[in-house]
Amino acid sequence: MHFTLLPILTSGFLLFAASSARASGFASTCNDITLSGTTLSAECGNGHGESFQASINTNDCIANYGGTLTCAPNGGYSGSCNTCFIEPGTTNMLCDCENGSGGSPASLIDLNSCFTNTFGSLSC
Ligand SMILES: *[C@@H]1O[C@H](CO)[C@@H](O)[C@H](O)[C@H]1NC(C)=O
């Protein structure tokens, strides 16, 4: 009787391992990626043949550290970055970010490294 637990635990672990492996890399399962203000939107597959309009506030996942964009929870980069846009045909976001010494150099971050698609919804 107690042997029946093993397959259940094993499949639970495999599900966990599979979802961990999906961390970041949303672009391979999302289309129509756009940035409007700080809102990243995309049409994202749920892994079961359906797709959903998903969006997320990029401030939730990106920070400006001394003029360099970095993936970071609750980063709030938009308080010190301007003129952000996605480089056409890529997942790169470009901004002018204050570096703390009077300059605002251009900084680039690959959004694919900061955002994950989990069953059709976007997260950090
Ligand atoms: C900040 O940007 C200014 C102007 O681009 C530059 O002269 C300065 O060296 C930068 N400071 C740092 C710490 O990167």
Environment class of 34 (CB within 10 Å of its CB; exposed 0-12, middle 13-18, buried 19+)? exposed
pLDDT score of 23: 55
**pLDDT score of 120 more than 80:** yes
The reply to whether ligand 1 has any atom less than 6 angstroms from the CB of 73 is no
- Does residue 72 belong to any structural domain of this protein? yes
pLDDT score of 24: 81
33, 48, 93, 117 from 36: Cα distances, Å: 10, 28, 12, 19
Number of compact structural domains in the chain: 1
- Does residue 22 belong to any structural domain of this protein? no
102 CA distance to ligand 1 centroid (A)? 7
- Does residue 94 belong to any structural domain of this protein? yes
- Does residue 10 belong to any structural domain of this protein? no
**pLDDT score of 28 more than 70:** yes
Give the domain extent around 86. Answer: 27-123
Mean pLDDT in the chain? 87
| Angle made by CA atoms 11, 53, 91, in degrees to the nearest 5 | 85
Using the atom order of ligand 1, give the atom closest to the CA of residue 105.
Answer: 5
The reply to whether ligand 1 has any atom less than 6 angstroms from the CB of 106 is no
pLDDT score of 58: 98
Using the atom order of ligand 1, give the atom closest to the CA of residue 67.
Answer: 14
105 CA distance to ligand 1 centroid (A)? 7
- Does residue 57 belong to any structural domain of this protein? yes
**pLDDT score of 18 more than 70:** no
- Does residue 11 belong to any structural domain of this protein? no
Q: Average pLDDT in the 70-96 region?
A: 97
**pLDDT score of 3 more than 60:** no
Q: Average pLDDT in the 81-104 region?
A: 97
- Does residue 31 belong to any structural domain of this protein? yes
- Does residue 8 belong to any structural domain of this protein? no
Characterize the bridge pairing of strands 68-71 and 121-123: unpaired
Using the atom order of ligand 1, give the atom closest to the CA of residue 99.
Answer: 1
Span 34-58, pLDDT tens digits: 999 999 999 999 999 999 999 999 9
Give me the amino acid identity at 67: G
pLDDT score of 2: 47
**pLDDT score of 8 more than 90:** no
Give me the amino acid identity at 47: G
pLDDT score of 16: 39
* Residue 73, domain CATH: 2.30.60.10
